[in-house]
Amino acid sequence: MTTTEQDIPSSMDALVLLGPNEFEVQEAVVPEPARHEVLCEVHSVAICGTDTELIGGHFLKKGWPPGYPYTPGHEWSGVIVATGEQSAELGFEVGTRVAGTAHDGCGVCRMCVTGRYNLCWNYGHEERGHHHYGHYSTGAMRQYHATSIKSVFPIPDTMTLEQAALVDASSIALHAVKRARVNPGEVAAIIGPGAQGLLAGQAANLLGASRVIIVGRGERLKTAAAMGFEVVDNSATDGPEAVRALTEGKGADFTVDTAARGNTPADAVSMTRKGGRVSLIGIPPEPVVLPLQRIVFEEMDLMGVRANPGTCEEVIPLIAEGKLDVDTVTTHRFPLAKFAEGFETFTKRIDGAIKVLIQPNV
Protein backbone atom coordinates (compact mmCIF):
# COMPACT_ATOMS: atom_id res chain seq x y z
CA MET A 1 0.00 0.00 0.00
CA THR A 2 1.49 3.35 -0.91
CA THR A 3 -1.06 6.07 -0.36
CA THR A 4 -3.88 6.60 2.09
CA GLU A 5 -6.06 9.62 2.63
CA GLN A 6 -8.14 8.20 5.38
CA ASP A 7 -7.75 5.76 8.18
CA ILE A 8 -8.47 2.38 6.73
CA PRO A 9 -9.51 -0.12 9.37
CA SER A 10 -7.76 -3.48 9.60
CA SER A 11 -11.02 -5.43 9.73
CA MET A 12 -14.36 -5.09 7.99
CA ASP A 13 -17.69 -6.78 7.35
CA ALA A 14 -17.91 -9.17 4.40
CA LEU A 15 -20.59 -11.49 3.09
CA VAL A 16 -19.25 -15.02 3.33
CA LEU A 17 -20.76 -18.05 1.63
CA LEU A 18 -20.34 -21.18 3.76
CA GLY A 19 -22.12 -23.62 1.44
CA PRO A 20 -24.95 -23.66 -1.11
CA ASN A 21 -27.54 -21.09 0.01
CA GLU A 22 -25.70 -20.75 3.33
CA PHE A 23 -24.19 -17.37 4.08
CA GLU A 24 -23.55 -14.84 6.81
CA VAL A 25 -21.90 -11.47 7.34
CA GLN A 26 -18.54 -12.07 9.01
CA GLU A 27 -15.61 -9.98 10.14
CA ALA A 28 -12.79 -10.20 7.60
CA VAL A 29 -9.32 -8.74 7.14
CA VAL A 30 -9.15 -5.65 4.91
CA PRO A 31 -6.89 -6.67 2.00
CA GLU A 32 -3.80 -4.75 0.87
CA PRO A 33 -3.73 -3.73 -2.79
CA ALA A 34 -0.90 -5.41 -4.71
CA ARG A 35 0.94 -4.03 -7.75
CA HIS A 36 -1.56 -2.67 -10.32
CA GLU A 37 -4.36 -3.00 -7.79
CA VAL A 38 -6.42 -0.51 -5.81
CA LEU A 39 -8.32 -0.83 -2.56
CA CYS A 40 -11.82 0.63 -2.81
CA GLU A 41 -14.35 1.54 -0.19
CA VAL A 42 -17.38 -0.19 -1.66
CA HIS A 43 -20.51 1.94 -2.10
CA SER A 44 -23.06 -0.34 -3.81
CA VAL A 45 -23.09 -3.92 -5.07
CA ALA A 46 -25.92 -4.98 -7.38
CA ILE A 47 -27.23 -8.51 -7.02
CA CYS A 48 -27.37 -10.31 -10.37
CA GLY A 49 -28.96 -13.51 -11.66
CA THR A 50 -25.51 -15.11 -11.74
CA ASP A 51 -25.21 -14.45 -7.99
CA THR A 52 -28.44 -16.35 -7.40
CA GLU A 53 -27.06 -19.40 -9.22
CA LEU A 54 -23.63 -19.08 -7.65
CA ILE A 55 -25.00 -18.65 -4.12
CA GLY A 56 -27.33 -21.60 -4.76
CA GLY A 57 -24.31 -23.78 -5.58
CA HIS A 58 -25.44 -24.40 -9.17
CA PHE A 59 -22.10 -23.36 -10.69
CA LEU A 60 -19.78 -25.37 -8.46
CA LYS A 61 -18.73 -27.51 -11.45
CA LYS A 62 -17.57 -24.31 -13.17
CA GLY A 63 -15.53 -23.43 -10.09
CA TRP A 64 -17.88 -20.60 -9.08
CA PRO A 65 -17.18 -20.40 -6.18
CA PRO A 66 -13.94 -22.38 -6.12
CA GLY A 67 -14.76 -23.50 -2.56
CA TYR A 68 -15.99 -22.22 0.79
CA PRO A 69 -15.74 -19.78 2.52
CA TYR A 70 -16.16 -17.37 -0.40
CA THR A 71 -17.22 -13.73 -0.89
CA PRO A 72 -19.24 -13.02 -4.09
CA GLY A 73 -20.21 -9.69 -5.71
CA HIS A 74 -19.18 -8.43 -9.15
CA GLU A 75 -21.42 -5.48 -10.13
CA TRP A 76 -20.29 -2.71 -7.87
CA SER A 77 -19.09 0.85 -7.32
CA GLY A 78 -16.82 2.58 -4.85
CA VAL A 79 -14.04 5.05 -4.16
CA ILE A 80 -10.31 4.30 -4.30
CA VAL A 81 -8.85 4.64 -0.80
CA ALA A 82 -5.41 3.09 -1.30
CA THR A 83 -3.22 2.21 -4.24
CA GLY A 84 -0.77 -0.60 -4.87
CA GLU A 85 2.55 -0.16 -6.63
CA GLN A 86 2.25 1.82 -9.92
CA SER A 87 -1.54 2.19 -9.73
CA ALA A 88 -1.52 5.94 -9.04
CA GLU A 89 1.09 6.48 -11.78
CA LEU A 90 -1.32 4.80 -14.18
CA GLY A 91 -4.08 7.25 -13.23
CA PHE A 92 -5.90 5.38 -10.48
CA GLU A 93 -5.48 7.83 -7.62
CA VAL A 94 -6.91 7.89 -4.13
CA GLY A 95 -10.30 9.61 -4.16
CA THR A 96 -11.23 8.44 -7.67
CA ARG A 97 -14.84 7.23 -7.90
CA VAL A 98 -15.09 4.04 -9.91
CA ALA A 99 -17.48 1.52 -11.43
CA GLY A 100 -16.24 -2.02 -10.91
CA THR A 101 -16.54 -5.14 -12.99
CA ALA A 102 -15.72 -8.84 -12.84
CA HIS A 103 -13.21 -9.76 -15.56
CA ASP A 104 -9.50 -9.00 -15.32
CA GLY A 105 -7.67 -10.56 -18.25
CA CYS A 106 -3.99 -11.50 -17.96
CA GLY A 107 -3.29 -8.74 -20.50
CA VAL A 108 -0.68 -10.81 -22.32
CA CYS A 109 -2.39 -13.69 -24.15
CA ARG A 110 -3.72 -13.49 -27.70
CA MET A 111 -7.33 -13.11 -26.53
CA CYS A 112 -6.40 -10.24 -24.21
CA VAL A 113 -4.28 -8.33 -26.73
CA THR A 114 -7.04 -8.60 -29.34
CA GLY A 115 -9.49 -7.06 -26.87
CA ARG A 116 -11.31 -10.24 -25.93
CA TYR A 117 -10.10 -10.40 -22.34
CA ASN A 118 -13.42 -11.94 -21.36
CA LEU A 119 -12.07 -15.08 -23.08
CA CYS A 120 -8.52 -14.89 -21.61
CA TRP A 121 -6.50 -18.04 -22.20
CA ASN A 122 -5.24 -17.79 -18.63
CA TYR A 123 -8.74 -17.92 -17.16
CA GLY A 124 -8.72 -19.42 -13.70
CA HIS A 125 -5.05 -18.71 -13.01
CA GLU A 126 -4.56 -15.86 -10.57
CA GLU A 127 -0.85 -16.72 -10.51
CA ARG A 128 -0.76 -15.71 -14.21
CA GLY A 129 -2.47 -12.39 -13.54
CA HIS A 130 -6.05 -13.37 -14.31
CA HIS A 131 -9.02 -12.69 -12.04
CA HIS A 132 -12.74 -13.13 -12.32
CA TYR A 133 -14.00 -11.24 -9.29
CA GLY A 134 -17.14 -12.54 -7.65
CA HIS A 135 -16.93 -15.79 -9.62
CA TYR A 136 -13.68 -17.51 -8.63
CA SER A 137 -11.67 -14.51 -7.33
CA THR A 138 -12.85 -12.80 -4.13
CA GLY A 139 -15.76 -10.50 -4.89
CA ALA A 140 -16.92 -7.06 -3.76
CA MET A 141 -19.73 -7.91 -1.32
CA ARG A 142 -17.65 -6.44 1.49
CA GLN A 143 -16.77 -3.02 2.88
CA TYR A 144 -13.37 -2.83 1.14
CA HIS A 145 -12.48 -4.55 -2.12
CA ALA A 146 -8.99 -4.98 -3.56
CA THR A 147 -9.10 -5.27 -7.33
CA SER A 148 -7.02 -4.92 -10.47
CA ILE A 149 -6.99 -1.47 -12.03
CA LYS A 150 -8.12 -3.22 -15.24
CA SER A 151 -11.44 -3.97 -13.53
CA VAL A 152 -12.34 -0.44 -12.39
CA PHE A 153 -13.44 2.51 -14.52
CA PRO A 154 -13.39 6.12 -13.30
CA ILE A 155 -16.79 7.82 -13.48
CA PRO A 156 -17.61 11.51 -14.03
CA ASP A 157 -18.92 13.76 -11.25
CA THR A 158 -22.35 13.75 -12.90
CA MET A 159 -22.78 10.03 -12.24
CA THR A 160 -23.87 8.78 -8.81
CA LEU A 161 -22.22 5.79 -7.18
CA GLU A 162 -25.58 4.00 -7.27
CA GLN A 163 -25.69 4.46 -11.04
CA ALA A 164 -22.08 3.27 -11.24
CA ALA A 165 -23.09 -0.06 -9.70
CA LEU A 166 -25.22 -0.62 -12.82
CA VAL A 167 -22.33 -0.05 -15.24
CA ASP A 168 -21.40 -3.74 -15.30
CA ALA A 169 -24.95 -4.92 -16.11
CA SER A 170 -25.45 -2.12 -18.66
CA SER A 171 -22.18 -2.87 -20.40
CA ILE A 172 -23.11 -6.54 -20.79
CA ALA A 173 -26.46 -5.54 -22.29
CA LEU A 174 -24.64 -3.25 -24.73
CA HIS A 175 -22.15 -5.97 -25.66
CA ALA A 176 -25.04 -8.36 -26.38
CA VAL A 177 -26.68 -5.87 -28.71
CA LYS A 178 -23.37 -5.07 -30.43
CA ARG A 179 -22.76 -8.81 -30.94
CA ALA A 180 -26.08 -8.84 -32.85
CA ARG A 181 -24.65 -6.19 -35.25
CA VAL A 182 -27.68 -3.89 -35.18
CA ASN A 183 -28.32 -1.77 -38.27
CA PRO A 184 -30.27 1.52 -38.20
CA GLY A 185 -34.03 1.09 -38.47
CA GLU A 186 -34.13 -2.54 -37.46
CA VAL A 187 -36.69 -4.24 -35.23
CA ALA A 188 -35.32 -5.83 -32.07
CA ALA A 189 -36.97 -8.49 -29.94
CA ILE A 190 -35.71 -8.90 -26.41
CA ILE A 191 -36.72 -11.90 -24.30
CA GLY A 192 -36.92 -11.15 -20.58
CA PRO A 193 -38.14 -7.89 -19.01
CA GLY A 194 -35.60 -8.03 -16.17
CA ALA A 195 -32.69 -5.62 -15.77
CA GLN A 196 -30.73 -7.16 -18.66
CA GLY A 197 -33.76 -6.97 -20.96
CA LEU A 198 -34.62 -3.39 -20.07
CA LEU A 199 -30.99 -2.33 -20.49
CA ALA A 200 -30.56 -4.28 -23.75
CA GLY A 201 -33.75 -2.69 -25.10
CA GLN A 202 -32.30 0.75 -24.42
CA ALA A 203 -28.97 -0.25 -25.96
CA ALA A 204 -30.82 -1.40 -29.09
CA ASN A 205 -32.55 1.99 -29.30
CA LEU A 206 -29.26 3.83 -28.81
CA LEU A 207 -27.66 1.83 -31.65
CA GLY A 208 -30.47 2.72 -34.04
CA ALA A 209 -33.26 0.15 -33.73
CA SER A 210 -36.58 1.63 -34.82
CA ARG A 211 -38.67 -0.69 -32.64
CA VAL A 212 -37.94 -2.79 -29.57
CA ILE A 213 -40.37 -5.54 -28.57
CA ILE A 214 -39.87 -6.95 -25.08
CA VAL A 215 -41.22 -10.45 -24.54
CA GLY A 216 -41.92 -11.70 -21.02
CA ARG A 217 -44.39 -11.72 -18.20
CA GLY A 218 -45.23 -10.32 -14.77
CA GLU A 219 -44.74 -6.99 -13.03
CA ARG A 220 -41.55 -6.26 -14.92
CA LEU A 221 -43.39 -6.26 -18.25
CA LYS A 222 -45.38 -3.29 -16.96
CA THR A 223 -42.10 -1.48 -16.29
CA ALA A 224 -41.04 -2.29 -19.87
CA ALA A 225 -44.28 -0.79 -21.20
CA ALA A 226 -43.89 2.26 -18.94
CA MET A 227 -40.39 2.75 -20.39
CA GLY A 228 -41.93 2.97 -23.85
CA PHE A 229 -41.16 -0.48 -25.23
CA GLU A 230 -43.66 -2.58 -27.17
CA VAL A 231 -44.45 -5.62 -25.05
CA VAL A 232 -45.61 -9.20 -25.61
CA ASP A 233 -46.97 -11.12 -22.61
CA ASN A 234 -45.86 -14.69 -23.25
CA SER A 235 -47.92 -16.01 -20.35
CA ALA A 236 -51.04 -15.12 -22.34
CA THR A 237 -49.83 -15.74 -25.88
CA ASP A 238 -47.13 -17.59 -27.84
CA GLY A 239 -44.11 -15.25 -27.83
CA PRO A 240 -42.62 -16.09 -31.26
CA GLU A 241 -46.06 -16.04 -32.92
CA ALA A 242 -46.84 -12.65 -31.39
CA VAL A 243 -43.51 -11.18 -32.55
CA ARG A 244 -44.08 -12.49 -36.07
CA ALA A 245 -47.60 -11.01 -36.02
CA LEU A 246 -46.07 -7.62 -35.14
CA THR A 247 -43.54 -7.84 -37.99
CA GLU A 248 -45.65 -8.77 -41.03
CA GLY A 249 -45.08 -12.45 -40.33
CA LYS A 250 -41.30 -12.13 -40.74
CA GLY A 251 -39.87 -11.91 -37.24
CA ALA A 252 -37.46 -9.47 -35.63
CA ASP A 253 -34.22 -8.50 -37.38
CA PHE A 254 -32.38 -9.55 -34.28
CA THR A 255 -33.29 -11.03 -30.92
CA VAL A 256 -31.51 -10.95 -27.58
CA ASP A 257 -32.39 -13.70 -25.13
CA THR A 258 -31.72 -12.39 -21.64
CA ALA A 259 -33.96 -14.94 -19.92
CA ALA A 260 -32.25 -18.24 -20.79
CA ARG A 261 -35.05 -20.14 -19.12
CA GLY A 262 -36.55 -23.37 -20.46
CA ASN A 263 -37.12 -23.00 -24.16
CA THR A 264 -36.26 -19.31 -24.57
CA PRO A 265 -33.11 -19.84 -26.71
CA ALA A 266 -35.27 -21.75 -29.22
CA ASP A 267 -38.00 -19.11 -28.95
CA ALA A 268 -35.37 -16.49 -29.76
CA VAL A 269 -34.57 -18.29 -33.02
CA SER A 270 -38.28 -18.71 -33.82
CA MET A 271 -39.09 -15.02 -33.41
CA THR A 272 -36.18 -13.87 -35.62
CA ARG A 273 -36.45 -13.37 -39.39
CA LYS A 274 -34.52 -15.20 -42.11
CA GLY A 275 -30.90 -14.13 -42.10
CA GLY A 276 -31.42 -12.58 -38.67
CA ARG A 277 -29.16 -12.64 -35.62
CA VAL A 278 -29.70 -14.03 -32.16
CA SER A 279 -27.64 -13.03 -29.13
CA LEU A 280 -27.72 -15.25 -26.08
CA ILE A 281 -26.81 -13.44 -22.83
CA GLY A 282 -28.23 -15.57 -20.07
CA ILE A 283 -26.58 -18.85 -19.17
CA PRO A 284 -29.04 -21.38 -20.65
CA PRO A 285 -29.95 -24.70 -19.11
CA GLU A 286 -28.33 -27.57 -20.97
CA PRO A 287 -29.21 -29.24 -23.21
CA VAL A 288 -31.53 -26.98 -25.24
CA VAL A 289 -33.13 -28.23 -28.46
CA LEU A 290 -32.63 -25.64 -31.22
CA PRO A 291 -34.24 -25.65 -34.71
CA LEU A 292 -30.91 -26.28 -36.46
CA GLN A 293 -32.41 -26.91 -39.92
CA ARG A 294 -34.00 -23.45 -39.82
CA ILE A 295 -30.72 -21.94 -38.62
CA VAL A 296 -28.92 -23.60 -41.57
CA PHE A 297 -31.50 -23.06 -44.32
CA GLU A 298 -32.27 -19.49 -43.31
CA GLU A 299 -28.68 -18.45 -42.65
CA MET A 300 -29.24 -17.34 -39.11
CA ASP A 301 -26.40 -16.24 -36.87
CA LEU A 302 -26.26 -17.32 -33.24
CA MET A 303 -24.03 -15.30 -30.94
CA GLY A 304 -22.82 -16.29 -27.50
CA VAL A 305 -22.28 -13.30 -25.22
CA ARG A 306 -19.92 -13.31 -22.32
CA ALA A 307 -19.49 -10.26 -20.11
CA ASN A 308 -18.48 -6.84 -21.36
CA PRO A 309 -15.14 -6.50 -23.15
CA GLY A 310 -14.49 -2.80 -23.66
CA THR A 311 -18.07 -1.68 -23.12
CA CYS A 312 -17.89 -0.25 -19.58
CA GLU A 313 -16.23 2.86 -21.01
CA GLU A 314 -19.00 3.05 -23.60
CA VAL A 315 -21.95 2.95 -21.20
CA ILE A 316 -20.46 5.32 -18.61
CA PRO A 317 -20.98 8.49 -20.71
CA LEU A 318 -24.39 7.25 -21.86
CA ILE A 319 -25.54 6.81 -18.25
CA ALA A 320 -23.91 10.07 -17.15
CA GLU A 321 -25.67 11.99 -19.93
CA GLY A 322 -29.04 10.46 -19.10
CA LYS A 323 -29.28 8.52 -22.37
CA LEU A 324 -29.25 5.12 -20.69
CA ASP A 325 -31.69 5.00 -17.76
CA VAL A 326 -30.42 2.79 -14.95
CA ASP A 327 -32.46 4.54 -12.24
CA THR A 328 -35.77 2.94 -13.23
CA VAL A 329 -34.31 -0.57 -12.98
CA THR A 330 -32.68 0.12 -9.58
CA THR A 331 -35.59 -0.61 -7.29
CA HIS A 332 -34.22 -1.54 -3.85
CA ARG A 333 -31.33 -0.84 -1.48
CA PHE A 334 -30.24 -2.74 1.65
CA PRO A 335 -27.29 -2.47 4.03
CA LEU A 336 -24.92 -5.46 4.08
CA ALA A 337 -26.32 -6.56 7.47
CA LYS A 338 -29.65 -7.10 5.69
CA PHE A 339 -28.18 -9.07 2.78
CA ALA A 340 -30.56 -12.00 3.37
CA GLU A 341 -33.57 -9.70 3.04
CA GLY A 342 -32.12 -8.04 -0.05
CA PHE A 343 -31.34 -11.41 -1.63
CA GLU A 344 -34.86 -12.69 -1.01
CA THR A 345 -36.33 -9.46 -2.39
CA PHE A 346 -34.28 -10.02 -5.56
CA THR A 347 -34.90 -13.75 -6.02
CA LYS A 348 -38.62 -13.61 -5.23
CA ARG A 349 -39.08 -10.30 -7.08
CA ILE A 350 -40.81 -8.90 -3.99
CA ASP A 351 -42.39 -5.49 -4.39
CA GLY A 352 -41.54 -5.26 -8.10
CA ALA A 353 -37.81 -5.76 -7.47
CA ILE A 354 -35.56 -5.54 -10.53
CA LYS A 355 -32.07 -4.53 -9.41
CA VAL A 356 -31.32 -4.70 -5.70
CA LEU A 357 -28.29 -2.86 -4.32
CA ILE A 358 -26.39 -3.92 -1.22
CA GLN A 359 -24.57 -1.02 0.44
CA PRO A 360 -21.83 -2.28 2.78
CA ASN A 361 -20.82 1.08 4.23
CA VAL A 362 -24.14 2.70 5.10
Binding site for Zn ion (CB under 5 A): 48, 50, 75, 105-106, 109, 112, 120, 122
DSSP letters for 326-353:
-TTTEEEEEEGGGHHHHHHHHHTTGGG-
The smaller minimum CB distance to Zn ion, of residues 78 and 105, is found at 105
Say if residues 262 and 163 touch (Cβ distance below 8 Å). Answer: no
Least Å distance, CB 50 to Zn ion, is: 5
Least Å distance, CB 171 to Zn ion, is: 10
- Distance between CA 216 and CA 222 in Å, rounded? 10
Cβ-Cβ contacts under 8 Å for 199 (sequence gap 6 or more)? 166, 169, 170, 173, 174, 324, 326, 329
Cβ-Cβ contacts under 8 Å for 238 (sequence gap 6 or more)? none
Least Å distance, CB 163 to Zn ion, is: 16
3-state SS assignment for residue 260: coil
The smaller minimum CB distance to Zn ion, of residues 138 and 247, is found at 138
The smaller minimum CB distance to Zn ion, of residues 123 and 213, is found at 123
The smaller minimum CB distance to Zn ion, of residues 151 and 247, is found at 151
Alpha-carbon Rg for the chain, nearest whole angstrom, is 20
The smaller minimum CB distance to Zn ion, of residues 272 and 330, is found at 330
Helix (H), strand (E) at residue 175: helix 167-179
Least Å distance, CB 4 to Zn ion, is: 30
Please give the span between the terminal C-alpha atoms of the chain, in angstroms, as a whole number: 25
Least Å distance, CB 8 to Zn ion, is: 27
Q: 43 — phi, psi (to 5°)?
A: -95, -55
* Alpha-helical runs (H) found in 180-320: 195-206, 219-226, 239-245, 264-270, 292-297, 312-320
Least Å distance, CB 90 to Zn ion, is: 18
The smaller minimum CB distance to Zn ion, of residues 109 and 174, is found at 109
Q: What is the DSSP letter of 96?
A: -
Least Å distance, CB 108 to Zn ion, is: 6
The smaller minimum CB distance to Zn ion, of residues 151 and 272, is found at 151
